[in-house]
Every structure is written in C-alpha cells, then in structure tokens.
Amino acid sequence: MERREFCRLVAAAATAIAAPAIGEKIQESSAQTGDAAQSPAFKAFDSPTQIRDYAEFCAAPADERQFYAFENGQFIEEKLDEKTWEFGDFQGNVVEAATLPIPGGSWDGVPMNSPLSLNLAGEGPFKPTWDSLLEYEPPEWYLDAKLAIWAHWSPQCVPEAGDWYARYMYKEGSKQYKYHLEHYGHPSKFGYKDFTSQWTLLNWEPDALIERFKKTGTRLFIALAGHHDGFDTWNSKHHPWNAVNVGPHRDVVGTWAAAARKQGLHFGVSIHQARNWWWFQSSHGADKTGPMAGVPYDGDLTLADGKGQWWEGLDPQRLYGPKHPTNALPDISYVKDNYDRTRDLIDQHNPDFIYSDSRLFPLGWAGMNLGAYFYNHSLKTHEGKLEAVINIKDVPDRLLRAAVLDWESALMDNIRPYPWQSEFCIGNCWHYDRANYDLPGELGGYQHPRELVHLLIDLVSKNGTMVLNVPGRPDGTIDSKEIAVLDAFTVWMQANGEAIYDTRPWKVYGEGPGKVDTQEFKGDSIKNLGVSDIRFTRNKANTVIYALVLGWPAGEFVVQSLGTASPAQAGKIKEVRLLGTDERLKWTQRADGLHVELPPHYHPTADYAAALQVLLT
C-alpha cells in the first residue's frame, strides 16, 4: 500500500504528465528562462568543476556538504540544518518532479543539457534529445515475446516482509518498523546495511529456475540490478555495496544472464536506483518517542564507524545516500554516479531489455544520455541492428515512440498504437512476503493462475506485454505455492500459447460487458471480466484470428465481432478449432456473429480461457 500511495503522490506532483491520457504535453522547459539560470548558485550547481567523486561527497562531514535548491524563483546555496531537518512520508516528491527555469529545461531537478564535454551517449546515431530518441523502433523479438518473467530480488527479501521494507523500517510506528523491532532490534543497532550481508542465496539454482520459467513460454527473463535501496546486484565497478563484495559474493546479474541465454531467452535488467536520493532519507531519522528517542538510525554512520565491524571499508553513506535538506536538488556527483553505474551495467552484461522504474528517463541529462547510449550500444553489439528495449513510465503521447511505455500493474481500455507493457506480481508485493505463503489453501495469498491468464490475454489484445514477477526467498529459492501457481499457469500456456506468442492485435480488442479500471495499480479489476468477455489476437499474416473466451462457456455462445454483418468485417471463416485438443466443435458464421459450441466431452483442468483458432478464407 505504501508504494501505491507514493506513486499516486508522485503522479499528482507531476501535473505536466499523465499517462496514458492523449495529447498532453511534457513541460521540458519553462516558458521563460530568466535571471535564475544566470545566478552564481545555479552556475555552481551545474558546473563541471563541481563534480567530484560521489564517494568523496558521501565521505565529507555532513556540515560541510554544499547543497543547492530552487526556492521562490531563485537558485540558492544551503547546508544541512540538523535542527530543522525532518523526514516526511514522501519527502522530495516536489523536488523530484521539479521543472527548473533554465535553457533546455530539466527533469527530476537535473538540467537536461549535460555540463560535461564527454560523449556520454556513445558513438552512434542516437543523441540525448527527444527528437533523436523518437527515431527508435522496438525490435521484432519484443513484439513477439508477450510475456516476461521478472526476479525482483534484492536484500529486501531477507526479512520476508514485503516491498519497500528498507524505507519503512525507519518510519517509527509503521508495520515494518514494528516488525523490525520484534525480529531484529532497533534500526540504530541493526539497519538495512546488515540485511545486505544476510542475502546469501545459499540454495540458489539459477539454471533450474530459468528452466521452470521457460516452461511458461516466457521468452524474456528480467533480473533486478539495483533497487531504490542503493545496493547493486552485479560486480559494480563504481559502487562497493554490491553482491560480489557483500551477501552472496557473486555476480547475481551475470549469473542470471548466463543461465537465461544458455536456454535461449532474451535477458533484461531492472534499475530503480535513481530515486535513492529521496527514497532512503528515512534512514537518517530517529525515534521521536520512547526509550530510543533521539538516537540516530544507522543512516548516520560513516566510513570511520566501520572500523572493526563486518562492514569495515564500506561507507554507509553510499548505500543510504547523504542526509540532505528536503528541497535539495540532486548533487551533480550523485547524477554522474547513477550514469556511471548504469553504463557499467550495460557494458558488462549487454542486456536486451532495461526496465527503468522512473518517470521518463531519470535525472535529466544522465537518463537521456543513458537512453541514447543503450540504443547505440545495441547497434554496435548487434551488427547495426537495434535489438534493445527500454521502458519508462508516464510518457505523453507525443513521446511514445522514444521508448516502450510502462503502465505499472494496470490495464488499458483500448488498443494502443505503440507497444506497451505492464508488470504484475504473483503475490501482492514486489519483494518476497512470507505472509502470502502462510495463508491457508493450495495457493495461499498468491494470485490464482486464472487471473494471470486473463491479465496476459487482455494486455496482448491491446498491444501490450505482461511482466510477471516471481519473488524469491533470501536463500535463492521460491516457495511451493509460487511453484503451484506457475505450474498451473504453464499448463494453460502450453496448450494455448499459439494465441499469445508471435501475435498482433486485431481490429478490435474484444467484446463483452466487463470493464476494467485503467488507473495504475488497478490490475485487480481484471476480476471484472468473465465468461461473457472475449478478447482477440491475430497472426502476423492476418489469416488467423484468435478469439479467447475468458472462461469455459457451457452451451452455445456467440462471438459478435466475427459475424458477417459485424462492423469489424472479419471476412468469411473457413474453419474454427479449439486450441489444446483435436476434438471438433460446432460452429456457424451468421450475420449476428460466430455461433460456437465447445466439445461436450472435453474440459481441461486449466479451463481459465477457451482459445478459438479462427481460420479465414
């Protein structure tokens, strides 16, 4: 619930953008760029001479760090004031969405134009501008894939208590805080840094897991590379808090990549680290009441405090991010660090796909250059063929071609003109939550495979791709109830995958009385659909239409869109078959629709949807 509320407030702050509304403009720059851009404070904020190593910035004493903010139409310099600092529930959202009155505009409080003379976009045709990125075309493999499996695994899986645990374990009174006190002690003594060493993956069998995931029919596997928590899951050259140095002591991303590619899957990564500047300020707080009132949480620890500790040589400030005023704009060293880490990830592991958990390309010039670099890198490593996919959120219509739109845990009400995707979890949290397993029943609190099948069908009928997250336990395994959901989902997919993979949307997405909610995080509205609702896909040659009934109808039913008098003008039907069986069914094409009766003696175990193969003359 906390994540949903956070995203709602971010969206409210970013009133210049509202996906997927049609025709809205992104405010790339202020209508006027006045004296603010000429001020000494802005020039210092945006000066390449200000760039020092982020490690140096983090290691500086808190009272010596220089921050910059934009207040009352002016750029100002400021220092951290411990007496007035306060962590709010969603501190920094307005700053995150800020548009600065400077030439070229800004994003996330960072100028769009890089102050550096380096060629951050790499060699190739793509430049860090929207006009250049709009030349992008998604590759055929992604259009064909339709389904991706995602391992949203990080040290936040250790407490087995759900998503955003790292942020809210530092919020006094929250359920995570209370859970933490009961199981681990006070966060001044045992903080998130200590979870990183307990994320061991001791029983992890990546080849076996990829084999299981592949059976679902997925053609793309995605590994989490870095969440908002500041921990990199690969052998990061620019960040010491990584999975090779701490925790599993292995390159998690690299291991996943090798396993996926060995079994013929495309490989992707998800990156969330751009929000760390705001997201982890909670670690710098302290209790306001009780016996530990005023005792700083472990976000206050420094490199020097690690002497003699298990984390000696690691600076907690680089994990949590430096404590800063609420309105502080991201420091230029932080922005460059995000660029360097992401480019290192691309260079080391050459992903086919990047899930960017950000509104547009994050952090101004850093994100824009990374987008261009990723496309250019793909051209370079694929003999001039662009095979890369990157998704971003909250994209206005005029920028939809620059990347693939991501609409988180959400559905659409029509066929989108460009490919898009949405991600859903097999449970109710992105990170592992044991509460789903502990609930009674064969599937516990996990989603029924019927709902996952219906989500996939609805997305594909509207030009979408579904990303399905399967959270893992801290030892690198998935639990038996997750396996049960995957196995049942796999049974349906193996019988009916022809209606999903390598298909394209038909003239209309479907028919029926059911309606879905198109707001983000309203994917559970798929439950509004049932056996009276039908969705359509087609093969690329346009010689076969697939009509997918969201249930298993008893007796005769009518597919109105396939009638000879239908406005959809399907054409004359030659044959109708039911996928998954050789048994014949009864059918007749009439003016009012295609009349169908399923075989009376055939009823599969995975009866979540009946997929009709409709061959045209």
Q: Is residue 217 part of a domain?
A: no
Contacts of 136 (CB under 8 A, 6+ apart): 126, 375, 386, 401, 402, 403
Please state, in angstroms and rounded to a whole number, the distance separating the CA atoms of residues 594 and 242: 57
Q: 74 is written with which tokens? A: 């002016």
In this predicted structure, the answer to whether residue 421 has a pLDDT above a threshold of 60 is yes
Backbone angles phi, psi at 346, to 5 degrees: -65, -45
Average pLDDT for 157-186: 97
Please state, in angstroms and rounded to a whole number, the distance separating the CA atoms of residues 98 and 558: 52
Q: 120 is written with which tokens? A: 């951050």
At 63-103, the pLDDT tens digits run 999 999 999 899 999 999 999 998 865 544 445 556 899 99
Q: Is residue 29 part of a domain?
A: yes
Calculate the dihedral angle through the C-alpha atoms of 359, 365, 366, 371, rounding to the nearest 10 degrees: 70
Q: Is residue 454 part of a domain?
A: yes
Reported as half-sphere exposure (CB side, CA atoms, 13 A), residue 516 has a value of 29
Please state, in angstroms and rounded to a whole number, the distance separating the CA atoms of residues 318 and 418: 39
If phi > 0 it is left, if psi is from -120 to 50 it is alpha, else beta; for residue 604 that is beta
Q: 493 is written with which tokens? A: 């997919």
DSSP string computed for 350-398: --SEEEEEEESSSTTHHHHHHHHHHHHHHHHHTTT----EEEEES--GG
The percent of residues above 70 in pLDDT, for the chain, comes to: 92
For the whole prediction, is pTM greater than 0.85? yes
Could you give the angle at the alpha carbon of 62 between the alpha carbons of 287 and 66, nearest 5°?
130
At 273-296, the pLDDT tens digits run 999 999 999 999 999 999 999 999
Q: How many domains does the chain have?
A: 2
Backbone angles phi, psi at 406, to 5 degrees: -110, 130
At 532-554, the pLDDT tens digits run 999 999 999 999 999 999 999 99
- Give the bridge partners for 78, in sequence order: 67
At 15-32, the pLDDT tens digits run 333 333 323 333 444 445
Last residue of a domain, one of 62, 83, 111: 111
Q: Is residue 137 part of a domain?
A: no
Q: Which of 395, 446, 440 is nearest to 417 (CA)?
A: 395
At 478-533, the pLDDT tens digits run 999 999 999 999 999 999 999 999 999 999 999 999 999 999 999 999 999 999 99
Q: Is residue 307 part of a domain?
A: no
Domain span at residue 100 reads 2-111
CA-derived radius of gyration, the chain: 25
Q: Is residue 469 part of a domain?
A: no
Integer CA distances (angstroms), 145 to 94, 142, 149, 216, 502, in order: 37, 5, 11, 12, 7
Last residue of a domain, one of 111, 129, 145: 111
Q: 532 is written with which tokens? A: 């009276």
Residue 34 has a pLDDT of 61
At 550-591, the pLDDT tens digits run 999 999 999 999 999 999 999 999 999 999 999 999 999 999
Residue type, 510: G
- DSSP-H helix ranges across 249-331: 252-262, 276-279, 316-320
CB atoms within 10 A of CB 560: 15
Integer CA distances (angstroms), 187 to 156, 179, 199, 292, 321, in order: 14, 11, 18, 10, 16
- Provide the mean pLDDT of the chain: 93
Residue 583, domain CATH:
2.60.40.1180
Integer CA distances (angstroms), 170 to 96, 181, 497, in order: 21, 10, 45
Residue 99 has a pLDDT of 80
Which residue has tokens 């995080």? 521
Residue 18 has a pLDDT of 33
In this predicted structure, the answer to whether residue 8 has a pLDDT above a threshold of 50 is no
Q: Is residue 608 part of a domain?
A: yes
Please state, in angstroms and rounded to a whole number, the distance separating the CA atoms of residues 438 and 445: 8
Which residue has tokens 């760029």? 33
Q: Is residue 544 part of a domain?
A: yes
For 164-198, give one letter per residue: b (16+ CB within 10 A) or e.
Answer: bbbbbbbbbebebbebbbeebebbbebbbbbbbee
Last residue of a domain, one of 111, 142, 177: 111
Please state, in angstroms and rounded to a whole number, the distance separating the CA atoms of residues 40 and 422: 44
Q: Which 8-state DSSP code applies to residue 33? A: -
- Is residue 353 a contact partner of residue 269, using CB atoms and an 8 Å limit? yes
In this predicted structure, the answer to whether residue 9 has a pLDDT above a threshold of 90 is no
